[in-house]
């Protein structure tokens, strides 16, 4: 993204031209910038080779999610709808992490049925619900537990 002769360009296409073709308001993403950011992140963490999960909440555009998947990222989702969107983009279940408060029984059951990588547990009641679903489905569920140690930062 840059300016040329006081006009704003995204990947050498003027936003003026884009606005005439697609009308406004419009969303315009730079694939080159997206790819560079992802590759830079991977390069800086290559020694530990983590699974990098993109927050679907931050941008659920299907084309963007497909490009993110093509670049090897997973998805961090906070609802069944976001999980479905990640699947629609082609993101594999073992690259999906389910986070967020207020997950419903049916959302947790869906996640378990889809064999996603991890469910981040936000409360004791949610943990008990996951345990109940796991027992009914005779499945082992990988979870992450968020702890709030209630420590004064001072």
Q: What is the pLDDT of residues 119-150, one digit of tens each?
A: 999 999 999 999 999 999 999 999 999 877 88
Q: Calculate mean pLDDT across residues 98-106.
A: 95
Q: Which residues of 120-154 are buried (b: 16+ CB within 10 A; e: fewer)?
A: bbbeeebeebbeebeeeeeeebeeeeeeeeeeeee
Each residue of 8-34: pLDDT tens digit?
Answer: 988 889 999 999 999 999 888 889 999
Specify the higher pLDDT residue, 146 or 69: 69
Global pTM value: 0.88
CA distance 88 to 81: 10
Task: For residue 104, give the 3-state DSSP assignment.
Answer: coil
Average pLDDT over residues 78-106: 97
Per residue in 42-66, pLDDT (tens digit) is: 999 999 999 999 999 999 999 999 9
Q: Of 116, 148, 146, 147, which is closest to residue 51 (Cα–Cα)? A: 116
């Amino acid at each position: 993204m840059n300016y040329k002769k006081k006009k704003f360009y995204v990947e050498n296409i003027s936003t003026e031209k884009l606005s005439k073709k697609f009308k406004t308001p419009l969303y315009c993403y730079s694939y080159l910038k997206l790819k560079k950011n992802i590759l830079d992140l991977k390069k800086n963490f290559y020694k530990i080779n983590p699974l990098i999960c993109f927050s679907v909440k931050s941008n659920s555009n299907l084309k963007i999610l497909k490009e993110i998947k093509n670049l090897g990222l997973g998805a961090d989702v906070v609802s069944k709808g976001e999980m479905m969107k990640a699947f629609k983009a082609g993101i594999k279940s073992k690259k999906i992490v389910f986070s967020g408060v207020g997950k419903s029984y049916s959302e947790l059951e869906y996640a378990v049925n889809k064999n996603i990588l991890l469910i981040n547990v936000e409360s004791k009641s949610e943990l008990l619900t996951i345990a109940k679903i796991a027992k009914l489905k005779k499945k082992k569920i990988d979870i992450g537990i968020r702890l709030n140690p209630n420590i004064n930062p001072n």
